[in-house]
């Protein structure tokens, strides 16, 4: 009998993986659908369920519409408040496996806390997901920041920069396990392994895409050295020039190290036929019916208080947090949303991962109205 790693598979290049099956200049993804309430810290009854049947329906709708990827959140413990915000969450690699089995084109990421899972188990899980998806699995490496979550695992959160040192070794092991190399030893500062053997290899002769969303210089440096993509949170109020210069800088640093890197951001879409309707719905969900107790719990975990940041800045951060945990708000009619997305491409970004209050209810309108506009602007192929 032939072993699974010698089964004939079509070759997939690393470049094809980065393109996620389409030549679109602006790549689109959906962020956060594996968690109850998704990214909107709101009490409105139509908020996202995060149920498996809704996730499958959403993935199939996105697949059909030519959306390139789905990116889950690695979250283990809800934030309380009136809704227990993100209290029900699917583990992301098994979630990805299920969605990959039920879709044809979509890249599905797993978001994995490096310190919480031994690298060899992780490497093999990712290979399994990658074979299920025939080369469509992607990895979002996160190092963790939430102490309460780590306590649930009996794990200790290392100091900030050491988290990234650990993650770099963890990723080195995974890349070695994925490589054609046969048996190997690994002698790192944190990880020591003997006689490692891992088969099969990822699907199609290349490896899954790897991304990270570090914001600090250490986090960004980690992504630049080790990852195919960096997700940067571009907040409201950052100018076009600042965004463009950030993207240029990240790409230049990667090139200095002999690498190429894509830069993505995250956004929160409220798109309605008129600007007025969009703004009204935004205010209804994210201001009048925000789950403020959950917002304050999240901010307290990050040591953000009126005392530490001053009342004015605290109010600004608080409002921003209720809306998609801080993603770029894209609120308006289809022309305005398409125009803002075009600006992101002009600033050099590769793509954007978006969320909605209710993904399934709102994606059809976005696909019907915004996607054709993006195609007319030359940013995406017609679907």
Ligand X SMILES: Cc1cc2nc3c(=O)[nH]c(=O)nc-3n(C[C@H](O)[C@H](O)[C@H](O)COP(=O)(O)O)c2cc1C
How far apart, in whole angstroms, are the C-alpha atoms of residue 281 and residue 263? 30
Determine which residue in the list 52, 145, 190, 240 makes contact with ligand X, applying CB under 6 A: 145
Whichever of 74 and 81 has its CB closer to ligand X, that residue is 74
Number of H helices, E strands in the chain: 15, 11
Neighbouring CB atoms inside 10 A of 1's CB total 3
**Shortest Cβ contact with ligand X: which residue?**
219
Determine which residue in the list 144, 204, 208, 351 makes contact with ligand X, applying CB under 6 A: 144
Q: Considering the complex, what minimum distance in angstroms separates the CB of residue 134 from ligand X?
A: 25
Contact 317, 344 (CB under 8 A): no
**Binding to ligand X in span 244-273, by CB under 6 A:** 266
Using CB under 6 A as the binding rule, whether residue 111 contacts ligand X is answered as yes
Q: Considering the complex, what minimum distance in angstroms separates the CB of residue 146 from ligand X?
A: 6
Using CB under 6 A as the binding rule, whether residue 233 contacts ligand X is answered as yes
Q: Considering the complex, what minimum distance in angstroms separates the CB of residue 144 from ligand X?
A: 5
Q: Considering the complex, what minimum distance in angstroms separates the CB of residue 72 from ligand X?
A: 7
- Output DSSP code: residue 128: H
Using CB under 6 A as the binding rule, whether residue 300 contacts ligand X is answered as no
**Binding to ligand X in span 201-230, by CB under 6 A:** 213-216, 219
Residue with tokens 């899972």: 117
C-alpha 353, offset from chain centre: 7
Using CB under 6 A as the binding rule, whether residue 334 contacts ligand X is answered as no
Q: Considering the complex, what minimum distance in angstroms separates the CB of residue 357 from ligand X?
A: 18
Residue of 114, 117, 131 lying closest to 178 (CA atoms): 131
Q: Considering the complex, what minimum distance in angstroms separates the CB of residue 187 from ligand X?
A: 26
How far apart, in whole angstroms, are the C-alpha atoms of residue 164 and residue 150? 16
Contact 131, 200 (CB under 8 A): yes
Q: What are phi and psi of 212, to 5 degrees?
A: -150, 155
Task: Count the site residues for ligand X by CB under 6 A.
Answer: 15
Determine which residue in the list 59, 73, 230, 268 makes contact with ligand X, applying CB under 6 A: 73
How far apart, in whole angstroms, are the C-alpha atoms of residue 54 and residue 35? 11
Q: Considering the complex, what minimum distance in angstroms separates the CB of residue 74 from ligand X?
A: 4
Neighbouring CB atoms inside 10 A of 310's CB total 11
What does the block give as tokens for 173? 């092991």
Contact 98, 52 (CB under 8 A): yes
The interface mask with ligand X, positions 78-97, x = CB under 6 A, is: --------------------
Using CB under 6 A as the binding rule, whether residue 324 contacts ligand X is answered as no
What does the block give as tokens for 225? 């050295």
Applying CB under 6 A, the residues found at the interface with ligand X are 73-74, 111, 142-145, 213-216, 219, 231, 233, 266
């Amino acid at each position: 009998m032939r072993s699974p790693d010698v089964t004939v598979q079509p070759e997939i290049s690393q470049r094809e993986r980065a393109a996620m099956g389409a030549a679109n200049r602006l790549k689109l993804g959906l962020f956060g659908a594996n968690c109850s309430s998704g990214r909107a810290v709101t009490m409105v009854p139509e908020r996202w369920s995060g149920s498996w049947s809704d996730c499958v329906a959403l993935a199939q709708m996105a697949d059909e519409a030519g959306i390139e990827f789905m990116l889950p959140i690695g979250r283990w413990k809800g934030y309380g408040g009136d809704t227990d915000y993100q209290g029900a969450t699917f583990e992301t690699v098994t979630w990805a496996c299920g969605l990959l089995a039920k879709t044809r084109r979509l890249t599905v990421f797993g978001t994995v806390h490096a310190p919480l899972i031994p690298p060899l188990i992780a490497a093999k899980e990712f290979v399994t997901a990658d074979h299920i998806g025939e080369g469509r699995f992607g990895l979002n490496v996160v190092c963790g920041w939430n102490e309460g979550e780590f306590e649930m695992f009996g794990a200790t959160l290392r100091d900030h920069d050491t988290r990234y040192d650990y993650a770099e070794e963890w990723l080195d092991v995974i890349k070695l396990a994925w490589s054609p190399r046969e048996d190997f030893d690994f002698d790192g500062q944190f990880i020591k392994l003997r006689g490692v053997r891992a088969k099969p290899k990822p699907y199609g002769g290349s490896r899954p895409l790897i991304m990270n969303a570090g914001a600090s210089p250490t986090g960004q440096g980690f992504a630049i050295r080790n990852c195919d993509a960096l997700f940067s949170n571009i907040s409201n109020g950052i100018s076009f020039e600042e965004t463009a210069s950030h993207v240029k800088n990240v790409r230049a640093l990667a090139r200095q190290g002999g690498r190429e890197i894509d830069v993505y951001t995250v956004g929160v879409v409220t798109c309605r036929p008129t600007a007025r309707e969009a703004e009204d719905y935004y205010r209804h969900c994210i201001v009048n019916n925000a789950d403020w107790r959950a917002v304050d719990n999240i901010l307290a975990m990050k040591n953000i208080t009126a005392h530490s940041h001053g009342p004015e800045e605290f109010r600004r951060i608080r409002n921003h947090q209720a809306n998609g945990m801080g993603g770029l708000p894209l609120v308006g009619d289809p022309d305005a949303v398409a125009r803002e997305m075009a600006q992101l491409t002009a600033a050099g970004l590769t793509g954007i991962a978006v969320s909605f209050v209710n993904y399934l209810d709102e994606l059809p309108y976005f696909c019907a109205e915004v996607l054709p506009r993006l195609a007319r602007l030359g940013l995406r192929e017609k679907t």
